[in-house]
Amino acid sequence: MSLSRLDLGSVQTPVEVADRLADALGLGPGDLLVKRDDLLGPGGGGNKVRKLEWTCAEALAAGADTLVTTGAAQSNHARLTAAVGARLGLRVVLVLAGRRRDDAEGNLLLDVLLGAQVVWAGDVDGPGLEAAADRVVTGLRSEGATPFLVPFGGSSPSSVRGYAAAGDELAEQVPDVRHVVVALGSGGTMAGLVSSLGVGRVLGVHCGAVPDPHAAVRRLLSDTPVAHDGLRIRTDQVGTSYGDLAEPAWQAVLLAGRTEGLVLEPTYTGRALAGLAAAVREGDVRRGERTVLVHTGGLPGLFGHQEARRRLRLGASGDGGTPLPQR
């Protein structure tokens, strides 16, 4: 396993005070900060960049000329793999769950812009998607290419180091941080933060991307000496399924936008904020305790989310826009 890290444009990201949002949640002034990992790296940015700096180092060390990865149709990880592949001069093949379509919205539009090739795996579950990716890898090999399979969500025991470093960065920026709240997808982001900050300070909010979030995070920490008993994971924000709009997450998206001008999306960061709101209501996170919400990115997913688009259209309030005042 390579121990090196590529520099793909990750920088120290800012931490911003969010007092109006804190107040709306029932926290005090200075209690709530937002770590802006949405500002990280190429391709529209987001948390996957910190992980790709490790997995792409492995790919290059293995002599790869092609990156292959998997995801949902609106995968932020797939989009960032496409961006990073372009930057490294590698071909990128994205094996996405779903069926062929001609319109490209949100992340898919960027996948095309960034030059990635999309392969539709059909209506498959996790194992079905992995099997499809294996077939694509085999096909590329038989054509003489040297593909490297980036794991689902970019999460592997080695890429966890990306968020371990982010945890160290955060501890320097906010030495008295008591809670770090983060969306949990494939689990690598939470695992890295836990390995830096310990289980007690990190609250993961499960988004429904994997069947067993505890097992996912534990597996990613299995190479490390980090104790993972007592992981704090909320599983109450998924709603009906990963891709469906969950009402508390949607309300959280509106709240962040309207109190702070902070744009979240319903799949990940909206669920993370809704999980924080629930944790405050239940007394798990209290006034006076320094709390950091990690903004992991995902803005293109908002533009690719059909129900979010439906709810935000101007006509949704019935008028299609306010008419110019008569004078």
Chain residues binding ligand PLP by CB under 6 A are 46-48, 76-77, 153, 155, 183-190, 268-269, 296-298
Q: Contact 184/233 with Cβ under 8 angstroms? A: yes
Q: What residues does 66 pair with on adjacent strands?
A: 91, 147
Residue closer to ligand PLP by CB (options 207, 285) is 207
* Alpha helices (H) in the chain, listed in sequence order: 19-25, 48-61, 76-88, 107-113, 126-142, 160-173, 188-197, 213-220, 247-260, 269-282, 299-303, 306-312
Between CA 93 and CA 90 the distance in angstroms is 10
Would you state the structure tokens that stand for residue 292, as one six-digit string? 């950091």
Closest CB to ligand PLP among 264 and 280? 264
Which residues touch 38 (CB under 8 Å, ≥6 apart)?
45, 46, 269, 295, 296, 297, 298, 299
The three-state secondary structure class of 294 is: strand
**At its nearest, how many Å lie between ligand PLP and the CB of residue 296?**
3
Nearest alpha-carbon partner for 78 in 181, 205, 193, 209: 209
- Which of 43, 147 has the CB closer to ligand PLP? 43
Instruction: Report the C-alpha gap between 184 and 193 in whole angstroms.
Output: 11
Q: Is 314 helix (H, G, I), strand (E, B) or coil?
A: helix
Residue 317 CB: number of other CB atoms within 10 A?
9
Count Cβ atoms within 10 A of the Cβ of residue 67 and give its class: 0-12 exposed, 13-18 middle, 19 or more buried. Answer: buried
Cβ proximity to ligand PLP: between 66 and 189 the closer is 189
Residues 6+ apart with CB under 8 A from 319: none
Q: Nearest to ligand PLP by Cβ — which residue?
A: 298
Give least dist CB 175 to ligand PLP, A. Answer: 24
Report in angstroms the alpha-carbon separations of 307 from 21, 221, 246.
24, 35, 10
State the CB neighbour count (10 A cutoff) for residue 61: 13
